[in-house]
Structure 1
Amino acid sequence: MDRQIEKTFNVPFRHRLLFTRGVFNPENQLLADLLHAYRPGVSVKTLFVLDSGVQKAHPGLENAIQTYCGKYPEQMKCADVLVVPGGESAKNSEGPTNRVLKAIENHGICRHSVVVAIGGGAVIDMAGYAAAIAHRGVQLIRIPTTVLAQNDAAVGVKNGINFYGKKNFLGTFAVPQAIINDRDFLETLEDRDWIAGSAEAVKVALIKDAPFFEFLEREAQALRRRDPGPMQELIFRCAELHMEHIAGGGDPFEAGSSRPLDFGHWSAHKLEHLTGYGLRHGEAVALGMALDVRYSHRLGMLEPRETQRILDLLTNLGFDLHLPDLGPDGSQNLLQGLEEFREHLGGVLTITLLEGIGRKRDVHEIDRDIMAAAIAEMQPGKTANKAS
């Protein structure tokens, strides 16, 4: 007779996002306290992975990290500060990942050590992936330094790199020990990165929170001129909504096919690839949302007034809603992103569309002719910020 052993077990996770200023100011004990709480009475060996763009914008940061570690020798021991390329290049080859893995090996980073990733979303993703596959999982602390990373990319439990020309083809799910948002890093961002990060806030407002969308409408000009108060509220509420979904949505590791937090992303991922990652992720998401909003409108799901409000908000925040020139076959190439998205999700194609601001609906089929017409509305030379 065939025999079988089966057990069910649960593993609790604690997902923490902490807000501060001057995380490496020696008087700020937050990071030291986190490491002490992780392993009381032990000086935790810590490998810092630093985005080269952040290093350039903050030329004294490496010394500040070393000084900070020196201030708290009972809590932490700095193994190294490894500088890696910033931007999507961090994820587009195995080189940066292998450098992090080599540093983990060279410095004897073990499962009781910690990797601290400091940078934009791409570096956070890459370093997190390296940490997750080393020794089957080294502890990770994320210190995101862009709007997009602080309100979205670093808030999730995913890590990954691009492979075979596909976004996040290699990756893991791993809950970080903590995420630390330091608002001071945002002060040195280029305007383009400041603006791009707000796309994910619009996304989560559209699918989950109409009052948050109204806040973004009211504060659009203040956000565009870089007022720190509204931006901190944007980051906090956006991150809060993401974390509520992860913790309470019933599918933190995305075993199902529905991905409401990927609204606008099926075409965004393809646009990034088609443009050689010349688009920022947030810029691609804004275009992807505008496209799916137009498609929802053409299906009769979304009223004209709400369609125009969404397009106006994206424009007022500073996004150009014209698609980049993708060549004569651009529309068909972009539509290939639907199958790639289905493959990435697994199972049946599931695309999130809008029935209203704050109200979503998942669909499992896309009318390619209607979507192609929506794409045509956003081509260069068209009035891309007006509903039709």
Structure 2
Amino acid sequence: MTTLSAPRSDAEATTTVVVPLAGKAYDILIGPGLIARAGAEIAARFPGARASIVTDDTVAGHLAGALNASLEAAGLEPQTIVVPAGEKTKSFAVLETVVDGLIAQRRERGDLVVALGGGVIGDLAGFAASITRRGMRFVQIPTSLLAQVDSSVGGKTGINTPRGKNLVGTFHQPSLVLADTDALASLSPRHLRAGYAEVAKYGLIDDAPFFAWLERNHGEVLARGPALTHAVATSCRAKARVVVADEFETTGARALLNLGHTFGHALEASTGYGERLIHGEGVAIGMAQAFRFSASLGLCAPADAERVAAHLAAAGLPTRLADIPGDVADDETLIALMGQDKKVKRGRLTFILARGIGEAYVANDVPPDAVRAFLATERTL
């Protein structure tokens, strides 16, 4: 069982990032000991509320007891709903289990759903909160690096279907995010590296200096050293800026956060959302492909694509189709899966491409033949 730090009296141990959405602003607290302090932080903001914890059977064994004790001590009358771990949990069947559990616990609209886990739990619990009693408040307590820097912020919730990832869901902002860096101690090295892909993404989108900083400091980040809090906070600030500019992904600004995801989601779907390729690994391959595709179209220098792939590989992440264990789906299957991407408009493929590191942009109406030609070259790497 993971040992959590006792509450810190030193306020400097916690970094606060504000997501200043009009009428629904919320805080992201980043630092050690936040699960132990969760009850006090939540009760101070939502007096009189009760809380239902939604978690998976892996995280429950490490962290649910500490969170339950913290919420109980603060008078939040916690109850817990435990679901299976893994991407396949983002399904209609498990969504029904969570919603039914909240109703059986007699939770009301003014109560709180507390998502304790990685991106799967955050997406699932947030979606359940958005539709139960026509909308309950929820708190994100992300326990993976990927969730702390990406999925816990911004209000995207949802589940997968056999036809694609995240195709059913809502925009439903959390009321508070508690990113406890101590919780990352329970992560396997593989899942920590997978989360790092989303950290690197923020540098590649529009912050070349941050990417250069990561090139120098990724070892300390992955070793959970002092650089980790800086990396998480910088990522959350970047995500917050984009969310405020384009909360519902209508202007195109928020679509930039999907750098690498068009390729990556297709690869995840083709491998069955299993352990062969977890989300951050798919994103890493997808980002390397997005830069190689950009270079093949003459948009960025080949040296930029090589630099991106070299950094991701140095962080222990896959960057090629050949890095995926087992057979990879044929090109037509991958293109068909890309056609189910949420950014597709009237059947036309949209990719996030780049003119250089820190210079990503939305490319609409990418010709399928160009994608086919590119994927053919990818088979040779």
Question: Normalization by structure 1: what TM-score?
Answer: 0.85
Give me the whole-angstrom Cα distance separating, in 1, the residues matched to 2:356 and 2:239: 20
Tell me the SS of whatever aligns to 1:231. Answer: helix
Please, which of 113, 128, 141 is the counterpart of residue 143 of structure 1?
141
Q: Does 1:255 align with 2:250?
A: yes
SS of the equivalent of 2:177 reads: strand
**Structure 1: distance between partners of 2:27 and 2:135:** 18
- Equivalent in the alignment of 1:102: 100
Question: 2: distance between equivalents of 1:242 and 1:194?
Answer: 19
Distance 1:136 1:291, change over 3 A: same
Q: Out of 267, 274, 280, which is 1:271 matched to?
A: 267
Aligned to 2:55: 50
Structure 2 residue 37 is matched with structure 1 residue 37: no
In structure 2, relative to structure 1, the CA distance for the partners of 1:148 and 1:328 (3 Å cut) is closer
Give 1:242 deviation, angstroms.
0.5
Q: In structure 2, what is the equivalent of residue 231 of structure 1?
A: 228
Residue 197 of structure 1 aligns to a residue whose secondary structure is helix
Instruction: State how far apart, in whole Å, the 1-side matches of 2:374 and 2:138 are.
Output: 42
Partner of residue 332, structure 1: 332
Alignment gaps of 5+ in structure 1:
1-9, 384-388
8 Å Cα contact 1:48/1:115 also seen in 2: yes
Structure 2 unmatched ranges of 5 or more: 1-20
Letter in 1 for 2:40: A
**Aligned partners of 1:14, 1:342: CA distance in 2, in Å?**
26
Which residue type is aligned with residue 60 of structure 2? Q
Answering whether residue 80 of structure 2 is matched by residue 81 of structure 1, we say: yes
Deviates more, 1:119-128 or 1:252-261: 252-261
The letter for the 1-side match of 2:148 is: Q
Count of aligned pairs between the two proteins: 356
Aligned to 2:15: none
CA displacement, residues 263-310 of structure 1 (integer Å, 9 cap, x when unaligned): 111111111110011311110011111111111001111112222111
SS, match of residue 198 in structure 1: helix
Per the alignment, residue 3 of structure 1 pairs with none
SS in 2 for 1:108: coil
Match of residue 127, structure 2, among 106, 110, 129: 129
Task: Give the equivalent residue in structure 2 for 1:68.
Answer: 70
Q: Is the 8 A contact 1:354 1:360 kept in 2?
A: yes
Deviations 1:22-57 (A, max 9, x none): 3343xx3x5323323223xx2x2111112222123x
Instruction: Write the distance in 2 (CA, Å) between the matches of 1:222 and 1:95.
Output: 40
Scaled by the length of structure 2, what TM-score is found? 0.87
Contact 1:223/1:317, CA 8 A, preserved across alignment: no
The CA deviation at 1:77 is 1.7
Q: 1:207 Cα deviation (Å)?
A: 1.3
Q: CA deviation at 1:327?
A: 5.3
The alpha carbon displacement at 1:255 in A equals 2.7
Return closer, same or farther for 1:344/1:161 CA change in 2, 3 Å cut-off. Answer: farther
Contact 1:221 1:316 in 2 (8 A): no
Residues 346, 18 of structure 1: alpha-carbon distance in 2 compared, 3 angstrom cutoff: farther
1:246 — aligned with what?
A: 243
Give the partner amino acid of 1:90.
T
Give the letter aligned to residue 268 of structure 1: G
Identity, % of aligned pairs? Answer: 32
Question: CA distance change for structure 1 residues 314 and 373 in 2, over 3 Å: closer, same or farther?
Answer: farther
* CA pair 301-104 structure 1, distance change in 2 beyond 3 A: same
Matches within 5 A, 1:359-378: 359-378=359-378
Paired AA for residue 374 in structure 1: F
Q: What one-letter code is carried by the residue in structure 1 that aligns with 2:31?
A: T
> Which shows bigger deviation, 235-244 or 338-347?
338-347
> What is the aligned partner in structure 1 of residue 353 from structure 2?
353
Indicate how the Cα distance of structure 1 residues 67 and 129 shifts in structure 2: closer, same or farther if over 3 A, else same: same
